[in-house]
Amino acid sequence: MPLQQSIKEEIKKAMLAKDALRLSVVRGISAAFTNELVAKMKKPTDALSDEDAMAVIKRLVKQRKDSIEQFTKGNRPDLVDTEKAELTVLETFMPKMMSRDEIKKIALTQKEKMNVSDKAGMGKLMGAVMKEAKGMADGGDVKAVVESLFA
């Protein structure tokens, strides 16, 4: 089942379960899908590809993480708790992310393949690792692993 369709099913399940938080989050995802379609000059009734849908969800996750960071700095624990709860729901739709060990294996392979020996090639190496990971690795983890290779 396409991701966009499964989100619509989740809306129904959340309504039946009377789960207000989950309902709010999945409705937000659905709205973000519609916004993405409109931004791509398509009809709101069209379907998004799973890759585009996953990119939208990743963007929403990143927004929540940024909000948590900002609310923490602003000493707003009430808003931090809300954003963390929403982030937990959003992460259920994300694919399982790679561990740092898995990222390190890819990074070492790419480092050999690209013949990168100094920090000057670190950016290219990070790009190659991200491409190889195909969205299954967190950018911060990739950066940490690649930097550890040159430490």
Domain ranges of the chain: 3-91, 100-149
Query: What is the pLDDT, as a whole number, of residue 33?
Result: 94
pLDDT in tens, 23-35: 999 999 999 999 9
Give the pair of three-digit tokens for residue 109: 């392979």
Q: How many whole angstroms separate alpha carbon 114 and alpha carbon 99? A: 22
Q: How many whole angstroms separate alpha carbon 57 and alpha carbon 81? A: 20
Residues of the chain with pLDDT under 50: none
For the domain covering 3-91, report its CATH number: 1.10.1510.10
Which CATH number among 1.10.10, 3.40.462, 1.10.3470, 2.60.120 corresponds to the domain 100-149? 1.10.10
Query: What is the pLDDT, as a whole number, of residue 57?
Result: 92
Mean residue pLDDT of the chain comes to 89
Q: How many whole angstroms separate alpha carbon 86 and alpha carbon 14? A: 14
pTM: 0.73
* Whether the Cβ atoms of residue 32 and residue 44 lie closer than 8 Å to each other: no
* Whether the Cβ atoms of residue 110 and residue 128 lie closer than 8 Å to each other: yes
